[in-house]
Amino acid sequence: MPPEADERDRTFVVSLTVNGDERGGLAGARTTLADFLRHELGLTGTHVGCEHGVCGACTIILNGAAVRSCLLLAVQAAGATVETVEGLAPDGELNPLQQAFHTHHAVQCGFCTSGFLMSITAALRDGPVRTEAEARELMSGNICRCTGYAGMIVAALESSEALEATGEVAQ
Ligand code: FES
Ligand code: FES
């Protein structure tokens, strides 16, 4: 039986871990995780483009996996561990992947950038990315209208190589 209208309009307290901090806020039953992060928690680095799972701009890491936060409800993330682009540079200093984006001019308007950074970060934790084809594959869920992808591919490969050399995992 479908929920009653007043059930759909209820507001919930959502508590979760975001970038290592315990956070909480109010979310309607139909509030997306993207909107919750941006409007309730003030984490506006997560961008919203298409709002239906196509562009990848809203990509975050949820319990270790890159996901589209426009396709999740905030209430579904209760108790989860979430990472957003703000967590890549907690002290305001670019991490190696972000620095590589800067070095290789992988940013133009920047609207897509946080989504790419989170997709690449999640992928590099799973293992190295050694070829252009692999880099293109891992970025295939993210759309950029400006850069032509070339700089992002170089940045991903360079970051992967650096991580492999040091035995580190993408932060
Ligand atoms: Fe989520 Fe486009 S805004 S995939
Ligand atoms: Fe503009 Fe990617 S830099 S959409």
pLDDT tens-digit profile of 122-151? Answer: 999 999 999 999 999 999 999 999 999 999
Burial of 1 (0-12, 13-18, 19+ CB in 10 A): exposed
Assign 3 a pLDDT band (cuts: 50, 70, 90). low
Phi/psi of residue 159, nearest 5 degrees = -65, -40
Ligand 2 binding pocket, CB closer than 6 Å: 107-112, 144-147
What tens digit of pLDDT does each residue of 114-130 get? 999 999 999 999 999 99
Distance 165 CA to ligand 1 centre (A): 34
User: Which numbered atom of ligand 1 lies nearest the CA of 70?
Assistant: 1
User: Within 13 Å of residue 113, how many CA atoms lie on the same side as its CB?
Assistant: 22
Ligand of minimum distance to the alpha carbon of 47: 1
**What is the position in ligand 2's atom list of the atom closest to the CA of 109?**
1
Q: Which of 7-11, 55-59, 102-106, 132-136 has the lowest mean pLDDT?
A: 7-11
pTM, two decimals, is 0.94
DSSP codes joined into one string, 22-82: EEEEEEETT-BHHHIIIIIS--TTS--SSSSSSS-TTEEEETTEEEETTSSBGGGGTT-EE
With a Cβ cut-off of 6 Å, ligand 1 is lined by: 48-51, 53-58, 68, 70
Amino acid 73 reads L
The per-residue b/e assignment along 109-137, b for 16 or more CB within 10 angstroms, e otherwise, is: eebbbbbbbbbbbbbbeeeebeeeebbee
